[in-house]
Structures are given as structure tokens and as C-alpha cells.
Chain A
Amino acid sequence: MTATTTEPAATATTTKGVSYKTPIALGAFALLAILLFVVFGRDGVSTFSFAQSGTVALPDVRFPVRGTGVVVAVIAVLLAVVAAALVRLRGASSRWLVVVFALALVVGFLAWATAGQRLPIIGLLTGSLALAAPLIFGALGGVVSERVGVVNIAIEGQLLAGAFVSAVLASVTKNLFVGLVGAVIAGTLVSFVLAALSIKYVVNQVIVGVVLNVLVLGLTTFLYQSVLIPATDTLNQPPTFSNLPIPGLSLIPVLGPLLFDQSIVTYLMIIAVFVVWIGLTRTRWGLRLRAVGEHPQAADTVGINVARTRFWNVALAGAIVGLGGAYFTLGSVGAFSQNITSGAGYIALAAVIFGRWDPLRASAAGLLFGFASQVANILGIVGSPVPSDILLTLPYVVTIVAVAGLVGRVRGPAAAGRPYVKG
């Protein structure tokens, strides 16, 4: 008995050519950079301000806009050429190269857009994290649900339900934690419907998800207008979480205010990202969850109850997303308003796919989308040559480019969206 046949099966096959997608995309962006920064270059100086009360302030960084634009455009062209060369020589471009390219372009764009103005960097970053928080909660819920094999389109509905219930409960009880628990329960309840219909009754998961979103939107809008508005004082004026600076750490420049001077919901989020990540990869819970999402029948044959695993993990996903909903009301705004989530759930869904169903990458994608939103906000405030309506589309443009352009064909959980019927 020998094992001579154990060589990998793919050695005899060869690949036809390599993909020039990355260099071509970089080239297109480089052209855009030349057009914007050089042809339509602006004069003046852009000041990136790191001013921050209470911490050791870093000095301002000043960019002469026209010079910076030219430098960035040159860097962009060079990197695009290097990427093409790498593809030619090694067959693939480098991921770091893309990251450096993107950073250069972002700096160039911010400098160009704020010529003659001050750009508050700390505000830009903390605001990005604030806008990203519900997206990250949503994306984590999406990852958990899809990795166990149930497509979770209902993130939007779970966020909205969490936002509504937490606002009302916190207003009535004047207790933030009751609000938080309420949000968890609301998200879970939406998940129960999704889980019951898609697992027990084998209804199409996408349809259930979309219908749930519409249902929750209609329900919260109706209740908001008919119940909350007449009684705003008692029902829709929740307290908000105040920041809990961590002594010492919060004084670190830039990182301090960003990571260590936040509300408890944000801390929860950071913890959740790592718990989900480690849980999925290193624990029995994660192994079984992934098995059920990849090959439910195989999981069944080793004694894992597929339906039960799916049901409770979809419920868990709803609980996580519900926390994100509470972030809207208790974490920032301090009141519920009609359709307060305004599509954040769908962006979170995009983050799941952009992040390739991995909790860390999906969270990073959430951060990226949050950053895009905050850039649009800040440029709207400081005033920029780009009309604000166009700026407001920025997060969505970034989403489309990210999901369609950068992700390409990825492989999700093999059994996501497919109901498991025994027999």
C-alpha cells in the first residue's frame, strides 16, 4: 500500500495568460489624477490640522496644493507602470502597491479639495469610525449569518428595528442599558422571522430578507409618525452614551481619541470584531458554523444539527446587528427619526462581500465606507469645489468600485442561500 498518487491534482494544468485588471484600473485612476490635480489644479495651501483638545497636539501639516497634485499624479503614474511590470514579470501585482496608490490618491484629493482651508484630520478619523460603527456591526452580523449558510439581506431591517426599540426603551426607562438590550432583542426578533421562514419553511432567503426590510421600514415609520411624534418627550428622547476615555491611552496623539476615547458601544464593537474573528477560526462554535455553511450534509453526517445551528446563529447575527441599530440612536443622534438607517444595512452587506466573508476584512471594508461618508460630510462643511450632492454619492461610488472592481469573482460559503433538506 503506497501513497504515490498524493501529488496535487492541478500540476498538469497551466494558466492562460495573466490578468492586467489591476494595472489597467490603476492607470485609469492615474489619468483621473492628472486630469484633476494637474489640468484642473488649484492654487493655495491646504492645511491638515491635527489639533485636538486635551492631548499632545501634533503640528499642522501644510500641503502646497498644486505641487502636491503634481507629485501625487507622478506617483500614481509610476505605481501603475510598476504594477504592469510586476504583472508581466511575476504574473500578479502587489497588494501593498494598491494600498500605497490609494493612500496617495486620497491625500492628493483631500489636499486638492481643501485648497486654502483647514482639514481637521482628527475629526475626519473619529467621524469615520462613528459612521462605520453601524456598518461594522451590520457586516459582522452578515458574516455570521452567511457563513452558517443563510443569506442575510435583512441587515437593514435588523438595524432599523434595533434603532427604534432602543430609542423607545431608553427614553421610557431613562436607562441606556435597557435600550441596548432592547436593540439586541429587536434584531434577534427580526432574525427569528428570517430564520424560521428560510430554514423551517425553505422560503427563498433573498425574498424573505427584502420583505423584512420593507416590513420593518413600514412598521417603524408608522409607529414613529403616529406614536413617537405626538409624544416625543416621553418616547423619543433617549439619553446618549457618553465617551469613556481610557486613562493614559486616550492621550496618545491621533490613536488616543480614535480608539480609547469612545462610548461603550464602540468598545463593544471593537471587542465584537475580534471575538467573531477568533471565534470563527479557533473555536468549536466557529468550526461547526463554517461546516454547516459549506457542506451542510457533511455536517449532518457527523452529528451536527444543521437546522438548529443555522437558526441560533442567524439569531445571533440579528443580535449583533441590533447593537449597530442602537448606535444610531443611543450612540450618536439621541433620537429616532424616520428611516434613520437610510440604507446602511445594504452598505454593510456590500462590506460583507467586499470583505470576502471574513470578519476582519469586512470590518475594514466598513471603515472604508465610513471614511468615504465622512469625507463627503467634512468637505460639505469646509466647502469644496465639488457640489455637495455629488459628494454625498461618494460612499456609494466607493461601494460600487470596491465590490465590482476590486473584488471580482470571490468564493463565498458554498451553501449560503441554499436551504438544507434532509433525504
Chain B
Amino acid sequence: MRLELSGITKAFGALVANDHIDLTVEPGEIHCLLGENGAGKSTLMNILYGLLRADSGEIRLDGVAQHFTGPGDAMRAGIGMVHQHFMLIPVFTVAENLMLGHEQTKAGFLDLPAARARVQEISARFGFDLDPDALVEDLPVGVQQRVEIVKALSRDAKVLVFDEPTAVLTPQETDELIAIMRQLRDAGTAIVFITHKLREVREVADRITVVRLGKVVGEAEPTASNAELASLMVGRSVELTVQRAPSTGGDVGLQVAGLSVLDAAGQIVVDDVDFVVRRGEILAIAGVQGNGQTELTEALLGLQDDVRGTITLDGRDITGASVRQVLDAGVGFVPEDRQEDALVAEFSIAENLMLDRSDGAPFVKGGAVQRRDLESFATATVKEFDVRAQGIDTHVGRLSGGNQQKVVLARELSRDLRLFVAAQPTRGLDVGSIEFVHERIVATRDEGVPVIVISTELDEVAALADRIAVMYRGRIVGIVPGDTSRDVLGLMMAGELPDDVRTAA
């Protein structure tokens, strides 16, 4: 089925999320929609899927104009969607999820055998092995995504939208997904693939449309280089790789030995982890989201209650120390959830900059905030870190993601650090801000601070790491040099350590 979007416009208040977007997707084609976070890709697809109504513009399928009032209409017309956040009911079985919304019944009762058969039939067609009676919440994310795909196919989708499908996958799972997408394309399905990852685009796309700030800014061939695509996406030329000298490798700064963390339910989430970080070195901790990285960083900061093993910073044991003591020991921390853990949205930039130093000099004396000191500090820091805002009194909640992250970095890096921990430092940021954040992290390393970067993005790991530790189910699978290939890292992220791999523990 041929899909045409013409002149789609959608505004949320003053923000124009989609500005006269035109897009044509032919059957048997994988059409990539490339753009940064916030460029309007998801809004466009939600309009296509009937979740949002466009202010103006038209959707045509095989030349016939469509008027969707809800996802039900879109599905009936042959549009399927694999959502970024899976739209599956966790406590339902695979078969129940498949049938939901278009249930077959027998004498008034659900026809589960028919749904099971449908799951098996479709998954056999693509060589999956899905158990129709498995509860979705018990399945790994990669398999859940297949359930989403099977669900869309069971509605005979002729146009299939994949919304950032690789964000939750290991590289191997990504490769498998790409193979599935090709198989679907060869069967005549029109595929829209939304992403901001250049590598995947070039690998799988037949055509590429780039959107920026709600507008289509151009089409590109899959043969285009990463730099060309990135500059289209950002609107200026960008450095994709950070310039950095090899690590000098100083003394041991942080030493972690036999560290285990148990969560509130008594489950082991970090399992007997050992590593060291030297001064002037970046240790990247890679792995698929949810393999214990979050808990590991929280344990370093003193945010976890049930921690075994030892954490030694500059020869001092900081295991079990309070967050205050850890911060005073010189640890800087960028949490993975900016809005939730790093900033108070309703506070001004200046107030956020002093959040971790609210208990004494230089900003508080005798219980009173030293406004003048704070203002001069904030003004200087905002300038140094290039935070784009009207002034230091602007509420942080009103800044863009990139500028919010700069505020966090500014706060953490403006102290004398003995250790810097950055969790997902560029998640959700535009390419320009990523560039800036990476430069600052490398600069911190070059000052001789031990740095830990936790990232699920292999591009980021490759760009920054001197050494890479890969986590899987709470354990460190192995610690390898920074130039280790993606394939090896991918295997490690799935828990396997190839025999011939060089380790760098």
C-alpha cells in the first residue's frame, strides 16, 4: 500500500511540532525518518496512527484520503505500529495481547485457541519462537518487541511504522530486527523506520527523509556519509568524533571490590563486581538498560541501602558513606534521569547550581544564602558552559534538554573532583549538545580525574572510553580496551565473552 502524507501541520500551543510535512512511502520500501529528539517524528507518526489529529493536511492510502478518528480506524485501514514504549499489557499472555481489540469469540467466549494458532502461524513465518501462553512481563524486551511486530502483522498491516525500535535492543537483537524488517519489505510491506541512529539508517534504508524542527529539510540516499546525514539533521556541520589523546593512565583513583547490591525485594541487582578507574582515564560501563548499571552508580553515590563489598576512593574506604560524605570526598555525579534526579524544575538556574552546596560556604553563611556570591558564580558558570537562557533566574524546567544537561554538568564540574560519574550523559540530547558534553567529559579526564561513563549507546562508549566494562544481569562480563569492535561488545552485552578477546582489567 502506498502511503502519502501531504501538508501535515500540528501545533501544540506556540510550538509547531509538524510544519507542512510531506512524505511518501512506497510498498516494498523501507523509508527512514531521521531526526533529532524533538524534531517532530513521533508527533507525525501519532497523527498517522490516529492518536493525534492534525491541524491541517491529508493522509492518503493508495490515493484515497483517510480520516482517522482513532487508532482503530488507522488499523482497519492497514497501518500498524511498533511503539517505542511497547503497547503490551504486561499481565496478559502473548495470545491475549494479540487478540485485544479485535477478539474472535465463540458462543460469546474468547476464542483463545484461534489466537494461539495465529501467534504460532505468524511467528513461524518469520522464524520466531513465541510461546502464545507466556506472560508478556516475563519476556525479555527483544522478545516483547517481536510480540509487538506479530500483533501489528495479525491485523494485516500493509504500512508498518517502527518508532525508535532499536533503543532497547542489544546490537545482535538490532541486527535480527533489521533482518525482519528486510523480510517484511520483500513481502511488500511499506515500512517507516524512525530513528536518530545514523548507522542503522545507512544499513537498512531505501530512502531517507530528514526532519528538523518540525520541517522536512531534505532527502538523502543511503549512500550518504554519516557526516552528511548528521549535518542535515542538525543544520550545521558537526564533529562526530571527539578529539582526544590516548589516556596517560595514572594512579588508581577508584577501586571497587566484590561489590554487590540488593534491591528492596532482596534481589541481587549488582553481583560481585570488581574494577578500578585510574586518574586521567575514562572507564565506560556499557550494557543494555536494566542490567545493574543504575544500581551500581547509585551504590557509588551512597544512594543504595543494601551494599556489600568495598568502594575505595584515593585509598579511603567510602563504602556505606552517606551521600553528603561521598560528595564531600569529591565525587561529581550526573544522574541518568535529568528531570527526576538532577534538577529541580521549579528552581532557577542559579539555585540549581548550588543544590549540592547548600550546607555551607561559599554560598551559605550563617544559614543565609549569599545571593551576591551565587549570582557572580552562576553568571560565570552559565557563560563558561554555554547555557542558552535568558538569565540565571530562568526556571530550569523551561530550558531545552541540552541546556538542562549543561546546568547539571556545570554544577558537578565546578567543584574539585576526585571522581566523576556520568550516567547516560547524552540521553535525549541533540547532536550539538552531545558534542559539547563529550568534550567536557574528555577535558575532565585530561585534568587527571578518574571518570566513569555509563551508557547504553555504543557510539558514545566508542567515542569516549579508554576501557570498557560490559554489564549483563548485574555482573561485569569483561573489561576490554576502548577500541574493541562492536560485534564483540554486542556479544558481551548478551552475556558472552568471546575466548579470543583481549581484556584490559
Interface residues of A (CB under 8 A from B): 1-3, 5-10, 12-17, 282-284, 287-288, 290-291, 294-295, 297-305, 414, 422-423
Give the contacts of B118-143 with A (CB-CB under 8 A): 126-129, 138-140, 142-143
**Contacting residue for A302 out of B100, B108, B109, CB 8 A:** B100
Contacts A5-B494, A304-B100 given; does A15 touch B110 at CB 8 Å: no
Which residues of the other chain, B, contact A290 by a CB distance below 8 angstroms? 89, 91-92
Could you show 9 A-B contacts with beta carbons less than 8 Å apart? A1-B128, A1-B180, A16-B267, A288-B101, A290-B89, A302-B100, A303-B75, A304-B72, A422-B51
Q: Does B285 contact A (CB under 8 A)?
A: no
Which residues of the other chain, B, contact A8 by a CB distance below 8 angstroms? 138
**Contacting residue for B72 out of A13, A14, A303, CB 8 A:** A303
Q: Does B5 contact A (CB under 8 A)?
A: no
Q: Is the interface of A mostly helix, strand, loop or mixed?
A: loop
**Contacting residue for A283 out of B81, B105, B173, B267, CB 8 A:** B105
Q: A1-B126, A12-B474, A302-B71 are in contact. List 5 more A-B contacts (CB 8 A).
A: A1-B176, A6-B129, A6-B140, A299-B101, A302-B101
User: In the bound complex, do residue A14 and residue B71 qualify as a contact, i.e. CB atoms below 8 Å apart?
Assistant: no
- Bound-state Cα–Cα, A302 to B50, Å: 11
For A295, the closest partner residue in chain B by CB is: B89
User: In the bound complex, do residue B103 and residue A287 qualify as a contact, i.e. CB atoms below 8 Å apart?
Assistant: yes
Q: Does B20 contact A (CB under 8 A)?
A: no
- Bound-state Cα–Cα, A305 to B69, Å: 11
Give the contacts of B136-158 with A (CB-CB under 8 A): 138-140, 142-143, 151
Which residues of the other chain, B, contact A288 by a CB distance below 8 angstroms? 100-101, 103
**Contacting residue for A298 out of B87, B110, B143, CB 8 A:** B87
A408 nearest CB across to chain B (Å): 12
- Bound-state Cα–Cα, A348 to B49, Å: 41
User: In the bound complex, do residue B88 and residue A298 qualify as a contact, i.e. CB atoms below 8 Å apart?
Assistant: yes
Q: Does B242 contact A (CB under 8 A)?
A: no
Which residues of the other chain, A, contact B128 by a CB distance below 8 angstroms? 1, 3
For A3, the closest partner residue in chain B by CB is: B129
**Contacting residue for A303 out of B96, B101, B126, CB 8 A:** B101
Q: Does B252 contact A (CB under 8 A)?
A: no
Q: Does B234 contact A (CB under 8 A)?
A: no
For B306, the closest partner residue in chain A by CB is: A16
Contacts A6-B129, A283-B110, A295-B89 given; does A301 touch B267 at CB 8 Å: no
Contacts A1-B176, A287-B100, A303-B75 given; does A297 touch B87 at CB 8 Å: yes
User: In the bound complex, do residue A9 and residue B87 qualify as a contact, i.e. CB atoms below 8 Å apart?
Assistant: no
Which of A13, A17, A294 has the most chain B CB atoms inside 10 A of its CB?
A13
User: In the bound complex, do residue A14 and residue B267 qualify as a contact, i.e. CB atoms below 8 Å apart?
Assistant: yes
For A8, the closest partner residue in chain B by CB is: B138
User: In the bound complex, do residue A284 and residue B51 qualify as a contact, i.e. CB atoms below 8 Å apart?
Assistant: no
For B143, the closest partner residue in chain A by CB is: A6
Interface residues of B (CB under 8 A from A): 49, 51-52, 70-73, 75-76, 81, 83, 86-92, 96, 99-103, 105, 108-110, 126-129, 138-140, 142-143, 151, 173, 176, 179-180, 262, 266-269, 271, 473-475, 494
**Contacting residue for B103 out of A15, A16, A284, CB 8 A:** A284
For B101, the closest partner residue in chain A by CB is: A302
- Bound-state Cα–Cα, A327 to B217, Å: 69
User: In the bound complex, do residue A15 and residue B81 qualify as a contact, i.e. CB atoms below 8 Å apart?
Assistant: no
For B170, the closest partner residue in chain A by CB is: A5
- Bound-state Cα–Cα, A78 to B83, Å: 55
- Bound-state Cα–Cα, A302 to B49, Å: 10
Which of B126, B128, B475 has the most chain A CB atoms inside 10 A of its CB?
B128
A333 nearest CB across to chain B (Å): 37
A176 nearest CB across to chain B (Å): 30
For B267, the closest partner residue in chain A by CB is: A13
Which residues of the other chain, A, contact B143 by a CB distance below 8 angstroms? 3, 5-6
B78 nearest CB across to chain A (Å): 13
- Bound-state Cα–Cα, A1 to B151, Å: 19
Which residues of the other chain, A, contact B102 by a CB distance below 8 angstroms? 302-303
Which residues of the other chain, A, contact B266 by a CB distance below 8 angstroms? 15-17
Which residues of the other chain, A, contact B91 by a CB distance below 8 angstroms? 290, 294, 414
Which residues of the other chain, A, contact B140 by a CB distance below 8 angstroms? 5-7, 9
A48 nearest CB across to chain B (Å): 43
User: In the bound complex, do residue B90 and residue A301 qualify as a contact, i.e. CB atoms below 8 Å apart?
Assistant: no
B489 nearest CB across to chain A (Å): 16
A422 nearest CB across to chain B (Å): 7
- Bound-state Cα–Cα, A217 to B267, Å: 48
- Bound-state Cα–Cα, A7 to B134, Å: 11
B50 nearest CB across to chain A (Å): 8
User: In the bound complex, do residue B99 and residue A300 qualify as a contact, i.e. CB atoms below 8 Å apart?
Assistant: no
Which residues of the other chain, B, contact A298 by a CB distance below 8 angstroms? 86-89, 100
Which residues of the other chain, A, contact B139 by a CB distance below 8 angstroms? 6, 9
Which residues of the other chain, A, contact B73 by a CB distance below 8 angstroms? 303
Contacts A1-B176, A6-B140, A15-B266 given; does A282 touch B109 at CB 8 Å: yes
User: In the bound complex, do residue B96 and residue A287 qualify as a contact, i.e. CB atoms below 8 Å apart?
Assistant: yes
- Bound-state Cα–Cα, A384 to B142, Å: 64
Which residues of the other chain, A, contact B81 by a CB distance below 8 angstroms? 301
Which residues of the other chain, B, contact A305 by a CB distance below 8 angstroms? 70
Which residues of the other chain, B, contact A297 by a CB distance below 8 angstroms? 87
- Bound-state Cα–Cα, A8 to B136, Å: 11
Which residues of the other chain, B, contact A17 by a CB distance below 8 angstroms? 266
- Bound-state Cα–Cα, A17 to B180, Å: 43
- Bound-state Cα–Cα, A10 to B76, Å: 37
Top-8 shortest CB links A-B:
A303-B72, A302-B101, A16-B266, A298-B87, A12-B473, A3-B129, A284-B103, A301-B87
